[in-house]
């Protein structure tokens, strides 16, 4: 698992990595699957990998401009660093890495 403690570290997450979003601007939520599709200089494209979602298979975007990244035990949090949302610093999203498949070779 990659330690994600900066935007540069976010950009090093390999394509195909499965993540779960567990919190967003709306607060905590049930884990919802995402797969890293493409890493670009200003954002990361993720495929929505949640069969219960009406957006299953569509692309989700994780913007990298004016954000601060904080590592967690099994993932990372992204905070607003622009000052646009109130005082700034509010949680934008929290992701955890999917557990490795014990059946995988």
Quick: pLDDT tens for 9-19: 999 999 999 99
In a domain, 27, yes or no: yes
**Do the bridges between strand 59-63 and strand 43-48 make them parallel or antiparallel, or are there none, so unpaired?**
antiparallel
In a domain, 63, yes or no: yes
Are 23 and 91 in contact by the 8 Å Cβ rule? The answer is yes
In a domain, 103, yes or no: no
Q: Count how many domains the chain has.
A: 1
Looking at the predicted structure, is the pLDDT value of residue 50 above 80? yes
- Residues 58-79, mean pLDDT to the nearest whole number: 94
In a domain, 53, yes or no: yes
* pLDDT at residue 101 in the model: 45
In a domain, 35, yes or no: yes
In a domain, 36, yes or no: yes
Q: Which domain holds residue 61?
A: 7-97
């Amino acid at each position: 698992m990659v330690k994600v403690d900066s935007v540069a570290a976010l950009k090093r997450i390999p394509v195909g990595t499965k993540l779960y979003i567990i919190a967003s601007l709306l607060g905590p939520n049930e884990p919802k699957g995402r797969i890293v599709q493409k890493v670009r200089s200003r954002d990361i494209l993720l495929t929505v990998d949640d069969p219960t979602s009406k957006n299953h298979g569509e692309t989700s975007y994780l913007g990298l401009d004016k954000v601060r990244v904080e590592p967690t035990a099994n993932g990372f949090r992204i905070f607003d660093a622009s000052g646009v949302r109130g005082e700034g610093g509010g949680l934008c999203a929290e992701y955890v890495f999917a557990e490795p498949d014990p059946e995988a070779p």
